[in-house]
A and B are shown apart, each in its own frame.
Chain A
Amino acid sequence: MSDLTRMTAAGLAEKIHSREVSAVEVAQAHLDRIAAVDGDVHAFLHVATDAALASAAMVDERIAAGAAPASPLAGVPLALKDVFTTSDMPTTAGSKILDGWRPPYDATVTARLRAAGVTILGKTNMDEFAMGSSTEYSAFGPTHNPWDTTRVPGGSGGGSAAALAAFEAPLAIGTDTGGSIRQPAAFTGTVGAKPTYGGVSRYGLIACASSLDQAGPCARTVLDAAMLHEVIAGYDPMDSTSIDQPVPAVVEAARHGAGGDLSGLRVGVVRELSGEGYQPGVRASYEDALRQLEKLGAELVEVSCPHFEYGLAAYYLILPSEVSSNLARFDAMRYGLRVDGGASAEEVMAATREAGFGPEVKRRVILGTYALSSGYWDAYYGQAQKVRTLISRDFAAAFEQADVLVSPTTPTTAFPIGDKVDDPLAMYLNDLATIPTNLAGTAAMSVPSGLADGLPVGLQVMAPALGEAVMYRVAAAYEAARNSEDGVVIDRVPSLEVSS
Chain B
Amino acid sequence: MSAEPAAAHISREEVAHLARLSRLAVTDGELDVFAGQLEVILGAVARVGEVAADDIPPTSHAVPLQNVFRPDELRPGLTQEQALAGAPAAEDGRFRVPRILGEEA
Residues of A within 8 A of B (CB): 101-105, 196-198, 211, 237, 240-241, 243, 307, 310, 312-314, 316-317, 324, 328, 331-338, 341-351, 353-354, 357, 359, 362-363, 365-367, 369-370, 373, 376, 378-380, 382-390, 392, 424-425, 428, 439-442, 465
Shortest distance between the CB of B102 and any CB in chain A (Å)? 8
Bound Cα distance A247, B51 (Å): 36
Indicate if the CB atoms of B99 and A376 lie closer than 8 Å: no
Shortest distance between the CB of B51 and any CB in chain A (Å)? 6
Q: Which 5 A-B pairs give the minimum distances between C-beta atoms?
A: A441-B62, A335-B86, A385-B58, A386-B52, A338-B88
Contact of A345 among B27, B60, B98 (CB under 8 A): B98
Q: Kindly list chain B residues whose C-beta atoms are within 8 Å of the C-beta of A428.
A: 41
Indicate if the CB atoms of A363 and B86 lie closer than 8 Å: no
Shortest distance between the CB of B93 and any CB in chain A (Å)? 14
Bound Cα distance A440, B24 (Å): 32
Give the interface size class of chain B. 35 or more
Contact of B25 among A103, A196, A354 (CB under 8 A): A354
| Chain A residue nearest in CB terms to B55 | A386
The answer to whether the Cβ of B74 comes within 8 Å of any Cβ in the partner chain is: no
Q: Kindly list chain A residues whose C-beta atoms are within 8 Å of the C-beta of B100.
A: 344-346
Q: Kindly list chain A residues whose C-beta atoms are within 8 Å of the C-beta of B37.
A: 363, 424
Indicate if the CB atoms of B23 and A313 lie closer than 8 Å: no
Shortest distance between the CB of B74 and any CB in chain A (Å)? 15
Shortest distance between the CB of B9 and any CB in chain A (Å)? 12
Indicate if the CB atoms of B51 and A390 lie closer than 8 Å: yes
Q: Kindly list chain A residues whose C-beta atoms are within 8 Å of the C-beta of B44.
A: 312-313, 316, 425
Residues of B within 8 A of A (CB): 2-6, 10, 14-15, 18-27, 30, 33-34, 37-38, 40-42, 44-53, 56-63, 65, 68, 70, 78, 82-83, 85-89, 95, 97-100, 102
Indicate if the CB atoms of A388 and B58 lie closer than 8 Å: yes
| Chain A residue nearest in CB terms to B40 | A425
Indicate if the CB atoms of A380 and B25 lie closer than 8 Å: no
Contact of B3 among A343, A354, A379, A390 (CB under 8 A): A379
Bound Cα distance A264, B25 (Å): 60
Bound Cα distance A88, B56 (Å): 47
Knowing A104-B78, A366-B19 are in contact, say whether A392-B59 is a contact too (CB < 8 A).
yes
Knowing A197-B62, A380-B5 are in contact, say whether A386-B98 is a contact too (CB < 8 A).
no
Given contacts A240-B68, A379-B6, A392-B59, 17 further A-B contacts (CB under 8 A): A198-B63, A240-B65, A334-B86, A338-B89, A341-B25, A346-B23, A351-B25, A353-B22, A357-B24, A363-B37, A365-B24, A370-B38, A379-B49, A383-B5, A385-B59, A387-B48, A389-B57
Indicate if the CB atoms of A197 and B63 lie closer than 8 Å: yes
Indicate if the CB atoms of A310 and B51 lie closer than 8 Å: yes
Indicate if the CB atoms of B22 and A365 lie closer than 8 Å: yes
Indicate if the CB atoms of B58 and A379 lie closer than 8 Å: no
Residue of B24, B44, B83 with most chain A CB atoms under a 10 A cut-off? B24
Bound Cα distance A387, B53 (Å): 9
Q: Kindly list chain A residues whose C-beta atoms are within 8 Å of the C-beta of B97.
A: 333, 345
Indicate if the CB atoms of B22 and A241 lie closer than 8 Å: no
Indicate if the CB atoms of A366 and B2 lie closer than 8 Å: no
Indicate if the CB atoms of B45 and A313 lie closer than 8 Å: yes
Instruction: Say what secondary structure dominates the interface of chain A.
Output: helix
Indicate if the CB atoms of A104 and B23 lie closer than 8 Å: no
Residue of A101, A316, A348, A383 with most chain B CB atoms under a 10 A cut-off? A383
Bound Cα distance A335, B98 (Å): 14
Contact of A366 among B34, B53, B95 (CB under 8 A): B34
Shortest distance between the CB of B32 and any CB in chain A (Å)? 13
Indicate if the CB atoms of B3 and A382 lie closer than 8 Å: yes
Shortest distance between the CB of B15 and any CB in chain A (Å)? 6
Contact of A317 among B14, B45, B70 (CB under 8 A): B45
Contact of B99 among A314, A344, A373 (CB under 8 A): A344
Shortest distance between the CB of A345 and any CB in chain B (Å)? 4
Shortest distance between the CB of A336 and any CB in chain B (Å)? 7
Bound Cα distance A355, B20 (Å): 15
Residue of A241, A387, A425 with most chain B CB atoms under a 10 A cut-off? A387
Q: Kindly list chain A residues whose C-beta atoms are within 8 Å of the C-beta of B89.
A: 338
Q: Kindly list chain B residues whose C-beta atoms are within 8 Å of the C-beta of A341.
A: 25
List 13 A-B pairs, Cβ < 8 Å: A104-B83, A105-B82, A198-B65, A237-B70, A241-B61, A313-B45, A335-B88, A350-B25, A354-B25, A363-B34, A366-B18, A378-B3, A425-B44
Bound Cα distance A335, B52 (Å): 41
Q: Kindly list chain A residues whose C-beta atoms are within 8 Å of the C-beta of B99.
A: 343-345
Contact of A362 among B6, B34, B56, B57 (CB under 8 A): B34
Q: Kindly list chain B residues whose C-beta atoms are within 8 Å of the C-beta of A465.
A: 62-63
Shortest distance between the CB of A306 and any CB in chain B (Å)? 9
Indicate if the CB atoms of B56 and A386 lie closer than 8 Å: yes
Bound Cα distance A164, B100 (Å): 48
Bound Cα distance A424, B65 (Å): 34
Bound Cα distance A345, B63 (Å): 38
Knowing A211-B60, A366-B38, A389-B59 are in contact, say whether A383-B52 is a contact too (CB < 8 A).
yes
Contact of B78 among A105, A237, A382, A440 (CB under 8 A): A105
| Chain B residue nearest in CB terms to A333 | B97
| Chain A residue nearest in CB terms to B90 | A334
Indicate if the CB atoms of B65 and A241 lie closer than 8 Å: yes
Q: Kindly list chain A residues whose C-beta atoms are within 8 Å of the C-beta of B85.
A: 102, 104
Shortest distance between the CB of A39 and any CB in chain B (Å)? 30
Q: Kindly list chain B residues whose C-beta atoms are within 8 Å of the C-beta of A425.
A: 40-41, 44
